[in-house]
Each structure stands twice: as C-alpha cells, then as structure tokens.
A and B are shown apart, each in its own frame.
Chain A
Amino acid sequence: MTERNPGFATLAVHAGAQPDPTTGARATPIYQTTSFVFNDADHAASLFGLQAFGNIYTRITNPTTAVLEERVAALEGGTAALATASGHAAQLVALQQLMQPGDEFIAARKLYGGSINQFTHAFKSFGWNVVWADTDDLSSFQRAVSPKTKAIFIESIANPGGSITDIEAVAEVARNAGVPLIVDNTLATPYLIRPIEHGADIVVHSLTKFLGGHGNSLGGIIVDAGTFDWSKGGKYPMLSEPRPEYHGLKIQETFGNFSFAIACRVLGLRDLGPALSPFNAFMLLTGIETLPLRMQKHCENAKAIAEFLSTHKAVDEVNYSGLASSKYAALARKYAPKGAGAVFTFSLKGGYQAGVDLVANLKLFSHLANVGDTRSLIIHPASTTHSQLDDAQKTAAGAAPNMVRVSIGIEDKDDLIADLDQALGG
C-alpha cells in the first residue's frame, strides 16, 4: 500500500477539521448555539432514534466540539472521543457506563488529589467502590481484582509526583481480569505517550492542562480505543443490553468499535449533562494545534530545571522521571522517550516552611492550583490540592509536607532557573 500516513503534527493541525461547508471558513467556527433545526419530522425522528448523522442539541453534540473530539481521538489512535466540561466530568461519565451500585474499580494510589477525592467521596455515594493499588508494586493490582471489579484506572504520568506507570503491566492485569484499562493521560498528552498502543482500552484527559495548554479553558475528554468486547460475560449491561430509552436498541451491536464513546454520549452526557461549551472547544482546539511544539519546549525546560535543582544546596530530592538518577528512568525511556513531561515535585531541606518561603519569593512562577500552562506554575500540594487527604494518603500520593510541585512553562529556561535560584536563597 503506497498511501502516506500523516504524522502527529499534521494530525494536530488537521484531524477533524475541514473548511466550513457553509462559508468556507478555514478556522473551525464556534457554533455557539444550543440547538439545531430539523429538516422535517422524519429527520427529527431519525436523529432522536440515532439513525442519522446530525445535531440536535449542544448537550449531546455540537459541530465545534466534534472537531475537538475527532482531533483528540486521532492523536490518541482511538476510534472516537467525547468531550466533557472538565477532566472530572470525563471520569464520571466514563465510569458511569461501567459501574452499577456495589461494583468495584481498582485505581492507582498515585493520582491527582482531586481524583482521589472524587473516587473516595462522590463515587462512594453512588455505591461505586474504589480499591486502591500501588503502581510501584504491580502485584497489588492483581491482588485487588475481585468478581465485582469493572475497571482499572491509572495515570500515565502521575500528578503530582511525575512518576511513570508501567502501563503494559497493568494492562495485562486488566486483560486477565476481563475489565477495561482506563488511563488518565493528562500529564503526558498523546505527544509523549499513547496509552492505547500499550494496552489501554479507554483514555481520559483533563484538556484543561497541556492539551489546551494556555490555562484559559476547562475541558475533558474520553477516548474509546475500540478494543474492548463489551458483550463478553454480560458485565456491562449499559453497552450490551437493550436500552429502554432507545426502544430496545443495543449500543454495542449497533455501534461496533466505537460503542463505548456512543454510550458515554447518548447515555452519560445526555443524562448527566456536563457538556463542553463550544467556545471552550474552540480555545482547546487552537491550543492543540501547537501541542508538539509546546511539549518539546516544556520537556526541554523541565529537564534543565530538574538538573539545576538536583544540584542545589537547598533541595533535598528532585522527583523527575527524566533524570538519569530517577527510579523511573527506565520506564521513562520506554514509555516517554521524547520527554518525561513538565510536572514534577521536589522536596526542600528546610521542610514545610521552606516550601512556603520558596513560593512567596518567586517572581515568574505563578502560585496556583493548575498544571500545563504556557506559564511556569508552582504549588505546595500538602496545603492545597491534597489538603483534604490525611498525611499517609498525602505521602502515598506523592505530596509530602516538604514537597513542592512545579509545572514548567515555555518561557526561556535561563530566566526560570535564575528565578528559582534567587527564591531558594542563591
């Protein structure tokens, strides 16, 4: 076959988008509308019955958002995607298709603190029970499997510690257990790691971070790898059984290898409601066009800064998987050869107070609770994102009291190093 295969940067610019059929507009228009007119009663009935391609209402589909969805599906190598109002909403909608009250899912203990909260508290109130496992002890995943297990959830690069997960090893556990592996790929982005190639069945993102990349819009997305057979064993009735709200339609039978994405949309998004605003979809799409360029710079800066910090006298330890000395160096070489991302933590010899002082003394780093911005960011997780966790949970999640987390931006790295140096007391 002589067909050319477009590369990642080409997909980042083109996938999902083509000139607007009505106006010829080349940038993707912002279809800032709640609803779409029907051609006639038959057209309306076909759309409501999922028989025809077309838009009804922006809670379910929107043409601007659809470009974003196809773009990320293409970058991840999935069959389809569904955008949501935030990364948290993506996690909620994805798990809702899999979980019934009383079911369990296994999650890595090293997760974004907000996800730990969502799983521990909000999901608990739905009767979805999280069972924790440790990515540094892969046998803990196997031990956590029970007949009630419906999914396994990990982060590719964990927030805040920046550790790299052995995705293939966890995928093997999921495969043997007959459950899908969900990978939160927020910190890596598909530019650095494509989890589907390593065995993930579902990929979720907070688009709020590096994919959008400019710190201006919240968003989330669910990517369907198209790899999981939902009919096996009757474990996933949302996908395999007749749906009463669609007059007995069976999602997997009708939509084949993108049925998970369709279930997320026509059962999850439709009924739970956390749709992305078309304006945010436009902002996020614009960000994604420069993803390859930005990620190269983010990673180059992060590595230089991690190296600088690891020789600084005020610094106790730097946890950056891209350092040769990191215990995750081998995993980083395997899974993220282009760079280990730009979010990492380091601990200070001066303890909790040194962390507070560092944050106060910096002039270019912004003190805020986000990652994946063009700007460099810093936070003290123990007192902010992870403050609702107890001390043991904090440490397990990679957020000890003397630890600060940075998200390195795309500024000139010498300016960032100079700022850190002065703030650490030279």
Chain B
Amino acid sequence: MNHDSYADDYIRAILNGVKTIAMVGASPLNVRPSYFVFKYLTERGYDVIPINPGQVGNSLLGKPFVASLKDIDRPIDMVDVFRGSAHVMPVVDEVLSLSPLPKVIWMQIGVRNDEAAAKAEAAGLKVVMDRCPKIEYGRLSSEISWMGVNSRTLSAKRAPIPVKGMRLSLDRQSVSGGNTAASDRAVKNRNEPG
C-alpha cells in the first residue's frame, strides 16, 4: 500500500480498534515526544506499555517499564515505534514472533522503513509510518483544534467535554480524506537529500 498519505478511514479504524499499545523507545524524560504520546494515549483510555531496556525497575506514569515486547504479559494490539528508521526491522521481526500477533505497527513522525513495512504487511499487519497517534487522535476528534491546527474534519454535532480516561468520537466528516493540498509536497521535500 501507498505510505505517502493515509485516508482518514484507515487511521480511524486503527485508533478505534486497538486497546493495548506497546511503546518501543518510551522515554521517562517529560520533554521527549514519546512521553507526550504515552501520557495522552493513556488519558484517552488506551492501555499503553512502556518498553525501554534501560529503564526496567522504573515506571512511567504508574506503568512499569519492560525490557522488550516478549516481556509483556498480555496480548498487544499495536506497537508504536520511537526508534530511528534504520532500527525498525529488528522491531518488526520481534513483533512477528509474538503470539497472538499484534494488528498494527505504527512508526512515529520521521520514522519510515518501507522494507520493514512490507514485511509486516505480508504477515497481515496494518502499518502506519511517519505519523503520530496523538496528533491523529487529536485531529480526528478535533481535540487538537484548540491550538489552531487544521483537523481537516467537520462536524455539526455537539461533542461532550473531554475528561481524563474518555475515548472521543473520531467519526467526523473528513476533508480531502485527511490530506492537505501541501502534504504531497511535504513528503517530497522530506525525502530529498538535504
């Protein structure tokens, strides 16, 4: 599948469908993007498990760190990868050795490995690359709009006030399937050597 852009329906189905998320490369430092995402997804009701071999014995917002995917004691729906693109393949190999198999591999903004993606897809997993689940959840729920971000969705329905632990409706009308006019150009610019 084409990974330069994703239809909103594809992302929506993933975020609505998963419950348990293993985060590879979770950082205890509260200025790192992984911390932001960990905290947000937890507040939106997901069961997020932090993976970082250097942090075993510590916990992140009450959740104990584990050393690897194999150390998780419950089925995982999605693996969220905070590792450089070059380190994704071993993560995918580890994911594919799990039973039951997770349903989704999600690589964060700036992380893209087409070979690893193809391998995961061949095993029946869905793959998202170069996106952030916090941003996508905030966008599809429009929670991100408070900061002037274009959610690229519309709704004439009254939404509840979000409180901690609440899952939000992601079922808004999409604009351009979620892409901006500029998104193709952005991908092209990023993929060019700088």
In the bound complex, do residue A79 and residue B180 qualify as a contact, i.e. CB atoms below 8 Å apart?
Answer: yes
Tell me the nearest residue of chain B to A75, going by C-beta.
Answer: B150
Find B147's partner among A196, A226, A247, A265 (CB 8 Å cutoff): A265
Instruction: Name which residue of chain A comes closest to B31, CB basis.
Output: A249
Q: Name the distance in Å between A342's Cβ and chain B's nearest Cβ.
A: 25
- Which DSSP category, helix, strand, loop or mixed, fits chain A's interface? loop
Closest A residue to B175 by beta carbon equals A6
Once the chains bind, are B9 and A3 in contact (CB under 8 Å)? yes
A268 to chain B, nearest CB (A): 13
A258 in contact with B177 given A18-B157, A21-B159, A232-B194 (CB within 8 Å): no
B101 at the interface (CB under 8 A from A): no
Q: Mark B159-187, 1 if CB is under 8 A from A, else 0.
A: 11100100000000111110011110110
Does A300 interact with chain B (Cβ within 8 Å)? no
Is A179 located at the chain interface by the 8 A CB criterion?
Answer: no
Most B CB atoms within 10 A — which of A50, A178, A225, A254?
A254
How many residues of chain A get a CB closer than 8 Å to chain B's CBs? 66
B46 within 8 A of A: no
A6 touches B151 (CB 8 A): no
Q: Output the least CB separation between A84 and chain B (Å).
A: 11
B33 touches A253 (CB 8 A): yes
The reply to whether A262 and B180 form a contact with Cβ atoms under 8 Å apart is no
B108 nearest CB across to chain A (Å): 9
Please, which residues of chain A bring their CB within 8 A of the CB of B190? 229
- Is there an interface contact between B182 and A81, defined as CB atoms closer than 8 Å? no
Question: B40, A52: Cβ atoms under 8 Å?
Answer: yes
Contacts of B189 in A (CB 8 A): 227-229
Known: A22-B161, A78-B180. A52 touches B149 (CB 8 A): no
Asked if B150 and A78 sit within 8 Å, CB to CB, the answer is yes
Q: Are B180 and A226 in contact (CB under 8 A)?
A: yes
* B148 contacts A by Cβ under 8 Å: yes
- Give the complex CA separation of A21 and B169 in angstroms: 13
Known: A3-B7, A21-B160, A229-B189. A53 touches B147 (CB 8 A): yes
Closest-CB distance, B163 to chain A (whole angstroms): 8
A333 at the binding interface (Cβ < 8 Å): no
Q: How far is the CA of A122 from the CA of B173 in the complex (A)?
A: 44
Is B180's CB under 8 angstroms from A6's CB?
A: no
Q: Which residue of A lies closest to B144 (CB)?
A: A53
Q: Is the CB of A257 within 8 A of B186?
A: yes
A125: Cβ under 8 A from any B Cβ: no
- Taking CB atoms, residues of chain A closer than 8 Å to B51 are none
| CB within 8 Å of A: which B115-146 residues | 132, 135, 138, 142-146
Contact partner, B31, options A14, A49, A82, Cβ 8 Å: A49
CB-based contact B182/A196 at 8 Å: yes
Query: When the two chains form their complex, are residues A258 and B152 in contact, meaning their CB atoms are under 8 A apart?
Result: no
Of the listed residues A10, A70, A78, A231, the one surrounded by the most CB atoms of chain B closer than 10 A to its CB is: A70
B110 on the A face (CB < 8 A): yes
List of A residues within 8 angstroms of B151 by Cβ? 16, 70
Q: Tell me the complex Cα distance, A5–B156, Å.
A: 16
- B-binding segment of A61-69, A146-154, A383-391, A404-412: A61-69
Q: Which residues of A contact B155 (CB under 8 A)?
A: 18
A263 to B155 Cα, complex, angstroms: 28
Known: A77-B180, A226-B182, A249-B31. A256 touches B148 (CB 8 A): no
Shortest CB–CB separation between residue B85 and chain A, in angstroms? 14
Within 8 A of A (CB), among B92-106: none
Q: Per-position contact with A for B1-39: 1 when CB-CB < 8 Å, else 0?
A: 000000111000000000000000000001101011001
CB contact between B146 and one of A3, A24, A66, A253 (< 8 Å): that residue: A66
Query: CB distance A81 to B158 under 8 Å?
Result: no
With a CB–CB cut-off of 8 A, which chain A residues contact B180?
77-79, 196, 225-226
Mask for A53-95, Cβ within 8 A of B = 1, else 0? Answer: 1110000010101110110011001111111000000000000
Q: Contact between B175 and A70 (Cβ–Cβ < 8 Å)?
A: no
User: Which residues, 199 to 229 on A, are CB-close (under 8 Å) to B?
Assistant: 199, 225-229
Please give 7 more A-B residue pairs, beta carbons under 8 A apart, in addition to A14-B154, A19-B156, A24-B158. Answer: A1-B9, A51-B30, A51-B39, A52-B39, A55-B146, A79-B182, A246-B31
27 pairs of residues in contact across A and B, judged by CB atoms under 8 Å: A1-B9, A3-B8, A3-B9, A5-B176, A6-B154, A6-B175, A11-B175, A18-B154, A21-B159, A22-B161, A52-B43, A53-B146, A55-B146, A61-B147, A70-B145, A73-B148, A74-B150, A77-B181, A78-B150, A79-B150, A79-B180, A80-B147, A225-B186, A227-B182, A254-B36, A256-B110, A265-B148
Give 6 closest A-B pairs by Cβ, nearest first.
A69-B148, A232-B194, A77-B181, A73-B150, A19-B158, A256-B109
Which B residues fall within an 8 A CB radius of A?
7-9, 30-31, 33, 35-36, 39-40, 43, 109-110, 132, 135, 138, 142-152, 154-161, 164, 173-177, 180-183, 185-186, 189-190, 194
A-side residues, CB < 8 A to B, are 1, 3-6, 10-11, 14-16, 18-22, 24, 39, 46, 49-55, 61, 63, 65-67, 69-70, 73-74, 77-83, 178, 194, 196-197, 199, 225-229, 231-233, 246-249, 253-254, 256-258, 261-262, 265
